[in-house]
Amino acid sequence: MGPRRQMGVMRGGSVNYKTVIYRRCMLTVKSPLGLSFGSGSACIADWPRLSALWAFLMRAAIVVAAGNSQRMGFDKLTADLGGRPLFIRTLERFENCPEVDEIVLVANEERIKPFGNLVGEYGLKKVAAVVTGGADRHLSVWKGLGALSEGADVVAVHDGARPLISSATISKAMLLATKFGAVALAAPVVETLKKADSDGLVVGSIDRSGLWTMQTPQIFRRDWLVAAYELVLARGARVTDETSAAEMAGFPVRVMQSGDWNLKVTYPSDLELARSLFGVETTKVKTGT
């Protein structure tokens, strides 16, 4: 059974969590938290006392693999990547991450049985459930949230088609999310941005400073993510990532730049690049370089 929390209430633009109570293995610790939802990043005033409690938090991951691969022309999730299905390679990164205790895999209905069989075949012990996704990504994530163990405190959501994320990066992001409440992997925009009209003629430039392209995993306190998606569903909105849902609900999200080749396999050329990069990664591991 995971930790249990007693929390304060939201008032205006700030959240005052007067007391947070963690219970596991007969251990009870009380520590005040102060979180600001101002223009800066969320700040935990009493963080040094809480750092020792990391070991008592349950961290889970939802891997979303419910897409139809229309742009690929074939099922990219079962495409070969280093001798194993691509989605298995993705799951292995979370399986091998010490900061992840549980994994929920979300898949299309027709994939539930074959994906479940492959999870067992490759010995992925942390995968607790394989559940059917929804018509849209946010509905799939919502179903994944419903399949988590009751004790899960921090939740990472990751695209099943991003197999090159490293376990070390997941660990770092998990710890930051535990501290700040929400962290999303992202990459700063480095290309020149132009705006064009319907005829393809350039009509202006866009300042790229402060612009990021969002990636996954995106990691949140479970209660924040559930509250954000409840609002999305209540409004009948559609969001393409968890950060958009958190924005709608007013929760602050910190971006974290990844040093990995964290590409999403969308087109056949992406798969070829992923295979090349996976080969380079494997060679480095073997040679220790």
CA-CA distance, 27 to 52, in Å (whole number)? 12
Q: How many CB atoms lie within 10 A of CB 164?
A: 21
Distances (CA, A) of 46 to 52, 56, 89, 132, 185: 12, 17, 38, 40, 25
- Measured CA to CA, the distance from residue 238 to residue 251 in angstroms comes to 17
| pLDDT, tens digit only, all 289 positions of the chain | 333 333 322 323 333 332 333 333 322 333 223 333 333 333 334 444 445 555 678 999 999 999 776 666 678 999 999 999 999 999 999 999 999 999 999 999 999 999 999 999 999 999 999 999 999 999 999 999 999 999 999 999 999 999 999 999 999 999 999 999 999 999 999 999 999 999 999 999 999 999 999 999 999 999 999 999 999 999 999 999 999 999 999 999 999 998 889 999 999 999 999 999 999 988 878 777 7
- In the chain, where does DSSP find H-type helix? 47-50, 86-95, 112-121, 137-147, 167-180, 222-235, 242-249, 268-287
Could you tell me what percentage of the chain is helix, strand and coil, using 3-state DSSP and rounding each to the nearest 5? 35, 25, 40
Structure tokens at 15: 């959240």
Q: How far is CA 84 from CA 41, 103, 112, 242, 278, in A?
A: 40, 19, 18, 28, 12
Report residue 226 CA to chain centroid gap: 14
Q: Which residues pair with 4 in a beta bridge?
A: none
Which H helix or E strand runs over 9?
A: none
Question: How far is residue 258's CA from residue 93's CA, in Å, rounded to a whole number?
Answer: 15
pTM: 0.81
Contacts of 259 (CB under 8 A, 6+ apart): 169
Q: How many CB atoms lie within 10 A of CB 265?
A: 27
